[in-house]
Amino acid sequence: MLESAKKVVLVDDDLDILEAIQAMLEDEGYIVITTDRGEDIEEILRLEHPDLIVLDMLLSGKDGREIAKHLKSQESTRHIPILMLSAHPRAAKEAQGFAINGFLAKPFEMDELLAKVALYC
Amino acid sequence: MSEKKDLAAQSSHDAPAPHEKQDWEQHINDQLLFQANILQNVRDGIIVTDMQGTISYWNTGATQIFGYQPEEMLGKTPALLYPNVDQEQMATDLQHILAGNDFVNHWKGRTKNGQVVWVDIKTTPLYDGHGKVIGFIGVSRDATQNKLAQEQLQESENRFRILADTSPVLIWMADQSKECIYFNKMWLDFTGRTLEHEKGYGWAEGVHPDDYASCLEQYVAAFDQHLPFTMEYRLLRSDGIYRWILDTGSPRFAPDDTFLGYIGSCVDITERKEFETRKDEFVALLSHELKTPITSLKGFTQILQRRFKEHDDGQALQFLARMNKQLGKLSVLINDLLEISKMQRETLPLHYEDFDLKSLIQEIVENLQAPTLTHQIIFESSASVFVHADRDRIGQVLLNILNNAVKYSPQADKIVLHMTIDQQNVTVSVQDFGIGIAAPHQQSIFERFYRVPDPIEKTFPGLGIGLYISREIIQRHHGRIWVEGEKGEGSTFNFTLPLSKNGNAPFQDDRK
């Protein structure tokens, strides 16, 4: 299992959501690295090579949209799929303007999240 | 006519002379009487003066206008009748008449009982048999009614100008050719331009470039059909700032229904727009803040559901399923709140497509018809019916009506769904056998936040916006939504949609 375990980096500034999603994914056998600070993502990516980044759009501090834009502009990180999450009503529409790979509106059903994650991993 | 001719013939020198003196005198007397009668019976006032202006003749017409009897006026001067007319001017006018010119004027006179009378007057010299001027003949006609009508018109015009120029709204007027002919002071103050600049299509130069095309398009379209219109656009204010304007135009018609053009009024709605934007931002933020805890609650609940499934704890699973369902309801409520905020700003976007309404209904009925549903939904469909509409939004309306039908008929066990078409429209009807709606509430239930004020209905939860949203959606599709039925006897909710111009088989009456 260990060799084939997929790695997901999860960024959300709401600690409860962070923990809930982490538990969901870990129950499914994913390795999950979490952070509630968007600023930490580059440091994490220097050490880890995730199969997917699950990124909240409206982060306090460094905004999810800026992070996505930056990661997609970098040679070293461009290939990593990004699944964006948001509870903001206009987020789905706004997300279309970014070079992200998928979008999921909060709140979501666990099955929806798992299906999306499985799509990219 | 013939009388006049006879008179002319008889008074001429060629007239055959009577043979006897008595007959001749009689004839002259008859003639004089006849002429005097004519003068007396003319409706116009005839007043004759001598060279000094002393009145020597006054007919019945003059009495009718001024109220004085002849005996009251003979020997007096016309100055008594026209106290406001400058006497020196009158003397000058007489010189003018003596020079052989006709004198025509419009004088303000005064009747015997002091009332104002407006008189159209024509004065000519009176000659004796030798061509010498011996006085003046004044023919006067009462023009008071005309003058009053004219004054009223003037007054009405003045009233309009005062109203228009002191009103806090921007007012414009256009003629039949679509060109603007008038702007009130407020408009000119607002744009800082002159009437000459704004006239015609000059006003459109101040319209924001992004709004220009749609603004003119709406203006011209309404104009061509003589229909009232309202439109919003940004207009350049004198300080160089664009302000949002709500412009309401109404066609103008003459009493004989001739189209005269338009009159429009505009108000600055920039602050309202800004407030609406702030409110929408607030609601969006609020919903974000509300959804965030729901997300984690839902997440944890579903993780627990999965874990309890492994332990096979039936009751715990049931409780968790109910928690999850309640969280789902909360999400729906938050979405409703957002929807309503969006709808007020008319930003509800519709994504039109041609689709089969029958298959949409079938889909929704199948989804709703879970084993746990207490009601059976009966939908007997026939052929496909294509409509050009937003499929998701129409689905939302159907789901809303069906959910209501279930919710408000707790004692019943079925819901009947019909679809009928005519040449232009398809009508969808959803009949339930529940508590029904009393007639006075049948209109109001489609209004925002309306809840039937009845102790029984109050026990049903909800915000009272589902039907409002449904009505908005149907109306934006140029359809109609209404309810039939009586209290205690169930309700039938109906809505119509225009048929798609493509894809429908020739008209068949399904109601047979």
Q: What homologous superfamily does CATH list for B148-268?
A: PAS domain (3.30.450.20)
Q: Is the confidence at residue B1, as pLDDT, over 70?
A: no
What does the pLDDT read at residue A40?
92
Q: Is the confidence at residue B138, as pLDDT, over 70?
A: yes
Q: Which of A27, A88, A107 sits opposite B294 (nearest CB)?
A: A107
What does the pLDDT read at residue B424?
87
- Confirm or reject contact between B332 and chain A (CB < 8 A): no
What does the pLDDT read at residue A95?
77
Chain B residue numbers with beta carbons less than 8 Å from the beta carbon of A96 are none
Does residue B82 sit in helix, strand or coil?
coil
Q: What's the CATH number of domain B273-344, 1.10.287, 3.40.30, 1.10.357, 1.10.1760?
A: 1.10.287
What does the pLDDT read at residue B17?
57
Query: Closest chain A residue to B299 measured between Cα atoms?
Result: A20
What does the pLDDT read at residue A3?
57
B417's enclosing H/E stretch is: strand B414-421
Does residue A13 sit in helix, strand or coil?
coil
Weakest-pLDDT range from B81-95, B339-353, B460-474 = B339-353
Query: Closest chain B residue to A21 measured between Cα atoms?
Result: B299
Q: Is the confidence at residue B57, as pLDDT, over 60?
A: yes
What does the pLDDT read at residue B511?
41
CATH fold of B353-498, please? Heat Shock Protein 90 (3.30.565)
Give residue-wise pLDDT tens across range B222-279.
Answer: 888 898 998 999 999 999 999 999 999 999 999 899 999 999 999 999 999 898 888 8
Chain A residue numbers with beta carbons less than 8 Å from the beta carbon of B287 are 87, 89
Give residue-wise pLDDT tens across range B96-108.
Answer: 888 877 788 888 8
Q: Is the confidence at residue B346, as pLDDT, over 70?
A: no
Distance from CA of B368 to the nearest CA of A (A): 18
As a whole number, the mean pLDDT across chain A is 90
Q: Is the confidence at residue B19, as pLDDT, over 70?
A: no
Amino acid at B439: A
What does the pLDDT read at residue B333?
82
**Spatial distance between the Cα atoms of B129 and B263, rounded to a whole number of angstroms:** 63
Query: Closest chain A residue to B307 measured between Cα atoms?
Result: A27
What does the pLDDT read at residue A62?
82
Q: Is the confidence at residue B341, as pLDDT, over 80?
A: no
Contacts of B497 (CB under 8 A, 6+ apart): B357, B387, B389, B394, B425, B426, B428, B474, B477, B479
Q: Is the confidence at residue B164, as pLDDT, over 70?
A: yes
**Spatial distance between the Cα atoms of B431 and B485, rounded to a whole number of angstroms:** 9
Average pLDDT (B358-387) is 87
Is A20 in Cβ contact with B300 (below 8 Å)? Answer: yes
What does the pLDDT read at residue B457?
59
Query: Closest chain B residue to A18 measured between Cα atoms?
Result: B296
**Spatial distance between the Cα atoms of B127 and B131, rounded to a whole number of angstroms:** 5
Average pLDDT (B502-509) is 57
Strand partners, B226: none
Q: Which residue has the higher pLDDT, B36 or B483?
A: B483
DSSP per residue, B403-452: HHHHHT-TT--EEEEEEEE-SSEEEEEEE--SS---GGGTTGGGSTT---
What does the pLDDT read at residue A1?
46
Minimal CA–CA distance to B481: which of B446, B438, B431? B446
Three-state DSSP string of B451-465: CCCCHHHHCCCCCCC
Assess whether the region B148-268 and the region B273-344 belong to the same CATH fold. Answer: no
Chain A residue numbers with beta carbons less than 8 Å from the beta carbon of B298 are 107-110
Weakest-pLDDT range from A93-107, B50-64, B222-236, B252-266 = A93-107
Q: Is the confidence at residue B345, as pLDDT, over 90?
A: no
Q: Is the confidence at residue B507, as pLDDT, over 70?
A: no
Chain B residue numbers with beta carbons less than 8 Å from the beta carbon of A23 are 299-300, 303
Minimal CA–CA distance to B431: which of B384, B470, B375? B375
- Confirm or reject contact between B282 and chain A (CB < 8 A): no
Is A14 in Cβ contact with B292 (below 8 Å)? Answer: yes
Give residue-wise pLDDT tens across range B177-232.
Answer: 999 999 999 999 999 999 999 999 999 999 999 999 988 888 888 888 898 998 99
Query: Closest chain B residue to A15 measured between Cα atoms?
Result: B296
Q: Is the confidence at residue B427, as pLDDT, over 60?
A: yes
Q: Is the confidence at residue B382, as pLDDT, over 80?
A: no
Q: Which of B291, B293, B299 sits opposite A110 (nearest CB)?
A: B299
Chain A residue numbers with beta carbons less than 8 Å from the beta carbon of B288 are 58, 86-89
Distance from CA of B328 to the nearest CA of A (A): 9
Taking the model in full, what pTM does it have?
Answer: 0.56
Q: Is the confidence at residue B7, as pLDDT, over 80?
A: no
Is B306 in Cβ contact with A27 (below 8 Å)? Answer: yes
Q: Is the confidence at residue B5, as pLDDT, over 60?
A: no
Q: Which of B285, B295, B330 should one mutate to test binding to chain A, selecting the residue with the greatest count of A CBs within 10 A?
A: B295
Where along chain B do its domains lie?
Answer: 2-147, 148-268, 273-344, 353-498
What does the pLDDT read at residue B344?
61
Give residue-wise pLDDT tens across range B150-162.
Answer: 889 999 989 988 8
- B471's tokens: 């009505």
Q: Is the confidence at residue B512, as pLDDT, over 50?
A: no
Q: Is CATH 3.50.40.10 what the domain over B2-147 is classified as, yes or no?
A: no
What does the pLDDT read at residue B240?
95
Weakest-pLDDT range from A80-84, A101-105, B10-14, B375-379 = B10-14
- Confirm or reject contact between B162 and chain A (CB < 8 A): no
Does residue B267 sit in helix, strand or coil?
strand
Q: How many residues does chain B have?
A: 512
**Spatial distance between the Cα atoms of B474 and B357, rounded to a whole number of angstroms:** 14
B73: how many CB neighbours lie within 10 A of its CB? Answer: 21
Chain B residue numbers with beta carbons less than 8 Å from the beta carbon of A109 are 298, 302
Q: What are the residues of chain A with a beta carbon less than 8 Å away from any beta carbon of chain B?
A: 14, 16-17, 19-21, 23-24, 27, 58, 86-90, 106-110
**Spatial distance between the Cα atoms of B326 and B126, rounded to a whole number of angstroms:** 108
Question: CB pairs below 8 Å between A and B: how many?
Answer: 62
Q: Which residue has the higher pLDDT, B417 or B334?
A: B417
Q: Is the confidence at residue A20, as pLDDT, over 90?
A: yes
